[in-house]
Structure 1
Amino acid sequence: MVRYLPLGNGRMLLTFDEDYRITDFYYSKYASENHSGGHPFMYGLSIDGNFLWLDRNGLKFMDYYDHTMVGTVFYPMAGIDFESLDMVDMYTNIYLRHINITNASNTRKNVKFFFHQNFYIYGNDIGDTAAFYPDLGGVVHYKENRYFLASTLDDNNKTLDQYATGIKDTGTLKGTWKDAEDNELSMNPVSIGSVDSVLRHSIDIDPGKKFSVYYYIIAGEGYKEIQKIKSNINLDYLRKLERRTTNYWELWSSKISPNLDPDTNALFRRSLFIIKSHSNVLGSIAASSDSDILKMSHDGYYYMWPRDAAVAAYALSIAGHSQTARQFFGLSTSLITEQGFMQHKYNMDGHLASSWLPHIINGREIYPIQEDETALLVWVLWEYFRRYNDIGFTAPFYEGLVIKAAEFMTSFVDEDGLPRESFDLWEERYGIHAYTVSTTFAALKAASNFASVFGDQDLSKKYSAAATRMYEAFEEKFYSEEYGRYARAIIGGKPDFTVDSALSSIVIFGMKEPQDSRVVSTMEAIMEKLWVNGVGGIARYENDNYMRIKEDSNVPGNPWIITTLWMARYFMKTGDLERGWSLIEWVKSHRQKSGIFSEQINPYTGQPHSVSPLVWSHAEMVITLMEYSSYSHNQKA
């Protein structure tokens, strides 16, 4: 479940697997449809008649190129150096692979490239068509309103010399990709149903010479759209596309830097790319583009959870990229319910997504929500306003978002002032959770501040009083002298003292001071009980069984990236930058080669586990590095 080099423009998003195969191909107005569904597009090479499908064994390097959302991949073989630059254009829906070839041998070489297209349009392989279009000079895959044109062009203005379309995954037919393995393609011009296709591009290259081949896929909603884009395709246009994409991302990623060591600064930029690549033009921010999880549960992470998206918007905002945050706030205003809360999760086009949260428990109707998702939205909006002082932008959200959510949060409380029961951030338990209390407290404080800015002093006092009452009830109901720490939740009226990393929220969101003795004892329990001996890192909570590798009483659960970074942020707030940095270093050491973070880490091997990338992991890294930079600067000053 590892994805490399996500590349996107808000409408198109591509990811690769470890074998440098396109594995997810999202495309629509809001990048909401996966047209490959985890089925790989293979890439073959033949040198002087010796054919192979490229895989991880042939790859020497795969990373982002020089602080840009452009992939660079190096794979030498048979005396030839191949370097690919992969990108998605910011302005048109074109995926481009620029292959630079250097013949480092002493002989003339014949090189054949085989590009495999493996579309599952609209996420299925029913009723697809693959056909060679002579007027477009390439193979088109289409169904209904989704068209994809694949073709090539080289330095001599030559294009593909062979093609094939065929049936895949039907009976004994594995796919047209098998047709490439003898170096010759069938030239079958059209296939329907479950189909794939292969293009061949051939060159001869002399010793010591360099040459370039371009492979591209154009996406559109109909024939005329891809035809119009194709009419612009020539060498000058492709080179222009490459320059503008590279220049755009170089400028975009250089706005703000944590000014740490070069490796950490580079990782910071990569995290920004991951977040941005998962955002669309509507304002949705997906949790992950990794579709392999579909094989386990027939559902995935390519949704917008308001919590994950709010944290991601906050990360981009403090890194100087406010546009995505602004789009997210605009979308959220249209999604918040009349009652004033955000739903569990949404599709990337803004429609309500699948949910496992029930509407009824023990015969009692409930809201199927996690209240922290509503609270974080208000808190992040205030943090945006506090940073940018953008009253003109923020004003329209005051009544439709802030007041609506704040009124819900002040009414959705028990008689003691604590939030009523909802589901926890881990989406597992129904009750009153410390993380929910912390984020709701922060949101009510934010709403009070907003009301004060807009001159609504009565509302400001109301929200502030609700926050204070909530804090006092938390101290009374959640802390135990017997345990010497806070409970993670009250479930069914009883406190749950399972040690949970989410308790770090009481500091992160400002409800408690980090030096408070009650906080210190709670955080010490997290480090003692949740640190995973051996591989390291912080587990979510004691006896966490989610995606557990095996039963093992010595392992509290799989370590997570976000939970480890939460503790780094806590230690930094106490002034212990050394301990905070050590946890950052642990996270850095568990990235992929291209700087991608997964959701979890295998507690025995240290390898990525569950979806990868996870946008939340990257957002927390951005936030943590920005905070470390600030604390470090203040200490030096």
Structure 2
Amino acid sequence: MPGRIAYLIIGIVLLVIGASILILSIIQKPQTIQFPTNTSSPAYLLLSNWRNLSIYISTGYPIPKPVLNGEESKPPSILQVFYGKYGLLKMNITITNTGNTKSAYLTLNNTVIINEENGSTTIILPPNYTSISIIQRSITNTSIDIFVPSIYGYVVVNSDYVVFTSPLLMSVYSNTSLSLRGVGGWYVISAGGNGTYYLVITLGSTKAMPIDYLIYINNHEVTQWLSMAKKPRLNGALLNEYYLSLLLLMDDQNPVTGEFVASPEPVYFYSWVRDSSYAAMALQEAGYYGYAMKYWLWMCSAQNSSGTWYTRYNFWSGSPDTTFGIPEYDSIGLFQLGVWQFYEYTHNKSFLMTVLPCINKSLMWEQGAIISNGGLIPRDLSIWEDNYAYNFWTQAIDDLGLYASANIYRALGLNYTWILRLANELNETIQSHFYSKGFYSQALMETTLYTSSGSETIYEPNGIPDSSVILPIALGWINPHSGRAINTVNKVVNVLLVNGGLARFPDDDYHYDYALYDSTAPDPPWVITTLFLAMYYEDVGNSTGALQLLSWCVEHSQHGLLPEAVDPRLGYPLPTTSPLTWSAAMYVMAAINYKPKQGFVLTIIMLLAVVVIMLSIIMFVVYGRLNKPYALSVTHEDGGYL
């Protein structure tokens, strides 16, 4: 009997162990990453209804060194309203007597929250609706003031309800009395008080929609929209960051024309083709094809007759900035690559046929450029816009674009062999010119070679490691497991890793004393470059390294909104360019491509199998023997067993 009890105890212990392992395998390691709450906040944000209405918000959060950075801090307000065919309206909304802004952020239900000394402001713009809701909670008298031109025709329906009838329909209502007065060519409609009150502005309609319904529909629509996203294998704050980054991409897209703002911060309030292209790639990779297609169609419409693009465009109008960053040729490869990726996800041949003329123009430009430049794309300023040279980034991105174009032609049944030859020629030239001393250099430098017969200009690698070389490798330009890829990434990491993130290149003083002045030292690590490395780690199966870098980005955000760069000494998000749309796009792409280690799961399954087998044997022995002891002691008279 004691032996049986011992066996039973062992079986129970093994059962407990097996159950514990099973529970641990289900719940996994507890998530310790959280959005930082004791950090700075964005001074400017965009909200969009994702269809035809976008508002530009000042949160009132103070900007560091505003004079040096060419910016200014403004009180909580809606500075600009962009509405469908009307474009920018001559209209703004200011919230007064709120006191200093303590924090501001975007929530996962796509709502802007501004916390102030005297209360808080909530701004809601539900997807697909044209109602702007402002909810004010205050401990002192505050007011919400709407400024519209005095040429607008209006009707006062009652004390809390005003309707505008021309030049567009618009209703304004509140749960407190409205006042209307004329001030220097403007009508000012005000709602005010202390405690909680709200004001709702609905464009294109004279109807007043209940505030409770607008809050409900906003939460419902945003939740439904996020549920359609491809879900990455992340959890906790890392998963929330993915969803918040998707919302930022949507809010930072012009809902009518399709291009994306680089950042709501004034210094970057333009649509850079490069940044916008990655935003569209991120959305289509997450499964939001319509919004991505809107951008590719806009890009096709904005193409120059030569087959190239300007560097950046006005965010509201889409008109080119003809004075900045010319030339930058990576946009050609990004267009080709983005269009091909879109087709890979959707198999939409009619879309390919629509943009094929633009693909053809870009190919003709590349063909002529490569022939006349010794097998390379001509010199330009991309990626960092401070080095006019044969930059590795542009060469490799455009080479990826050529391979993508060959795939487009093949999908359409067209002759693509000439494009492959062109892509291979560019690839071979890059390999022979840029790789030296164990890594791909940032760019080629021009030198003069003197010989007995005279002199000639040659181009040699500048020997500068640059983190931008990692992304083309991660996107498949060469085998990420190749010796050249491994050596290059190791070189970049050894030189440019700063406090867990990756700086752009040595002695980078852009945020320190060159253009912006919000860093305490040179060489701040950038979020996009850190995520370039994360994507490379994902390619080579280093999921631990990729997860560490994703976590680093979240831990250095502004309440989950990703900046351009992080202070290299103090670790705070650099505020003059935060949030950055490209940072959000790279996080979305890296999150989707993250693959956790499978070895741990397999080990758990094997251990469970062993435990179950051992437990079965033990229980069989214990309970199998329980039915036989009496039979063993009873025999027939002739000695046989019963």
Normalising TM by the smaller chain, what interval? 0.7 to 0.9
Deviation (angstroms), 1:14: 3.7
SS at match of 1:42: strand
Aligned with residue 425 of structure 1, among 376, 383, 386: 383
What pairs with 1:442-461 in structure 2 (closer than 5 Å)?
442-457=400-415, 460-461=416-417
Q: Which has the higher contact order (CA 8 A, sep 6+)?
A: 2
Q: CA deviation at 1:132?
A: 9.3
Contact 1:597 1:613 in 2 (8 A): yes
Change (3 A) 1:544 1:34: farther
Aligned pair partner of 2:208 in 233, 237, 255: 233
**Preserved CA contact (<8 Å) 2:157 2:163:** no
* SS of equivalent to 1:423: coil
- Across the aligned residues of Structure 1 and Structure 2, the Cα RMSD in angstroms comes to 3.7
Q: What residue identity is the alignment partner of 1:114?
A: T
Amino acid aligned to 1:8 = S
The question of whether the paired residues in 2 share the 8 Å contact of 1:488 and 1:497 is answered with yes
Counterpart of 1:15 in structure 2: which amino acid?
Answer: I
- Per the alignment, do residues 249 and 74 of structure 1 end up closer, same or farther by CA in structure 2, a change over 3 Å counting? same
Question: Is residue 171 of structure 2 the alignment partner of residue 116 of structure 1?
Answer: no
**Match in the other structure for 1:352:** 319
What CA deviation, in whole Å up to 9, does each residue of 1:258-305 have, x standing for no partner? 1311221111111000000111233433234534x4xxxxxx322222
- Are the equivalent residues in 2 in contact too, given 1:275–1:285 (CA < 8 A)? no
Verify: 1:199 aligned to 2:191, yes or no: yes
Work out whether 1:68 is the aligned partner of 2:109. yes
Q: Distance in 2 between matches of 1:390 and 1:43?
A: 50
Alignment match, 1:485: 439
User: In structure 1, what is the Cα distance between the partners aligned to 2:600 and 2:473?
Assistant: 20
Using the TM superposition, give the Cα deviation of residue 507 of structure 1 relative to its aligned residue in structure 2, in angstroms. 0.6
CA distance in 2 between counterparts of 1:539 and 1:138 reads 54
Q: 1:323 matched to which residue of 2?
A: 290
Counterpart pick for 1:97 among 126, 130, 134: 134
CA distance in 2, matches of 1:349, 1:599: 22
Cα 1:199–1:85 change in 2 (3 A) is: closer
How far residue 215 of structure 1 moved from its aligned partner, in angstroms, is 1.6
* CA radius of gyration, larger in: 2
Q: Which one has the bigger helix percentage?
A: 2
Q: Contact (CA 8 Å) 2:179, 2:191: kept in 1 or not?
A: yes
Query: Would the aligned equivalents of 1:289 and 1:613 in 2 still touch at CA under 8 Å?
Result: yes
1:607 paired with 2:572, answer: yes
Deviation of the 1:31 alpha carbon: 9.3
1:51-90 pair list within 5 angstroms? 53-57=98-102, 63-64=106-107, 67-71=108-112, 85-90=122-127
1:574 maps to which of 535, 540, 563: 540
Task: Identify the residue that residue 583 of structure 2 maps to in structure 1.
Answer: 617
CA distance in 2, matches of 1:88, 1:245: 7
Greater mean deviation of Cα atoms: 331-340 or 485-494: 485-494
Q: Structure 2: give runs of 5+ residues left out of the alignment.
A: 1-40, 62-74, 447-458, 603-642
Query: Distance in 2 between the 1:552 and 1:76 partners?
Result: 25
User: Pick from 308, 328, 350: which aligns with 1:392?
Assistant: 350
Change (3 A) 1:12 1:419: same
Taking a change above 3 Å as real, the CA distance of residues 234 and 564 of structure 1, as seen in their structure-2 partners, is closer
> Which residue of structure 2 aligns with residue 176 of structure 1?
none
Q: Does residue 558 in structure 1 map to residue 580 in structure 2?
A: no
Query: 1:521 maps to which residue?
Result: 487
The match for 1:29 is 84
Alignment-mate amino acid for residue 246 of structure 1: N
2-side partners of 1:27 and 1:427: how far apart? 30
> Partner of 2:336 in structure 1?
378
Kept in 2, the 8 Å contact 1:539–1:560? The answer is yes
Change (3 A) 1:521 1:213: same
3-state secondary structure, aligned to 1:548 = helix
The 3-state SS of whatever aligns with 1:307 is helix
Instruction: Determine the structure 2 residue equivalent to 1:178.
Output: none
Amino acid at match of 2:281: Y
Matching residue of 1:248: 221
Task: Summarize the Cα distance change of 1:632–1:320 in structure 2 as closer, same or farther, 3 Å threshold.
Answer: farther
Q: Compared with structure 1, are the counterparts of its residues 332 and 62 closer, same or farther at alpha carbon in structure 2 (3 Å cutoff)?
A: closer
Q: Secondary structure at the match of 2:578?
A: coil
Question: Quick check: 2:47–2:55 contact (8 Å CA) kept in 1?
Answer: yes
Alpha-carbon contact 1:287-1:616 (below 8 Å) kept = no
Q: How far apart are the structure 2 equivalents of 1:285 and 1:266?
A: 25
Q: Secondary structure at the match of 1:7?
A: strand
Aligned to 2:9: none
CA distance in 1 between partners of 2:153 and 2:406 (Å):
61
Q: 1:474 aligns with which of 430, 437, 440?
A: 430
CA gap of 1:599–1:193, structure 2 versus 1, over 3 A, is farther
- Shift of the 370–32 alpha-carbon distance from structure 1 to 2, 3 Å rule, reads farther
Distance 1:423 1:549, change over 3 A: closer
Q: Which residue is equivalent to 2:19?
A: none
Q: Structure 1 residues 532 and 317, CA, compared in 2 at 3 Å: closer, same or farther?
A: same
Query: Closer, same or farther in 2 for the Cα pair 1:281/1:75, shift >3 Å?
Result: closer
Cα shift at 1:537 = 1.8
The question of whether the paired residues in 1 share the 8 Å contact of 2:519 and 2:568 is answered with: no
Q: Secondary structure at the match of 1:286?
A: coil
Letter paired with 1:12: S
The equivalent of 1:290 in structure 2 is: 264
- Distance in 1 separating the partners of 2:333 and 2:240: 32
Residue identity (%): 19
Q: Tell me which residue corresponds to 1:545.
A: 509
Counterpart residue identity of residue 87, structure 1: I
Q: Which residue type is aligned with residue 110 of structure 2?
A: M
**What do residues 3-28 of structure 1 show as CA deviations (whole Å, max 9, x unaligned)?**
47642124222435265923543423
Alpha-carbon offset, residue 43 of structure 1: 4.9
Equivalent in the alignment of 2:71: none
User: Is the 2:60–2:76 contact (alpha carbons within 8 Å) kept by the matching residues of 1?
Assistant: yes
Q: What amino acid sits opposite 1:262 in the alignment?
A: G
What letter is aligned with 1:245? N
Query: Could you say if the C-alpha distance between residues 62 and 419 of structure 1 is closer, same or farther in structure 2, counting changes exceeding 3 Å?
Result: closer
Shift of 1:500: 1.2
Question: Map of 1:167-178 to 2, 5 A cutoff?
Answer: none
Aligned residue identity for 2:144: H
Letter in 2 for 1:253: L
Number of equivalences: 530
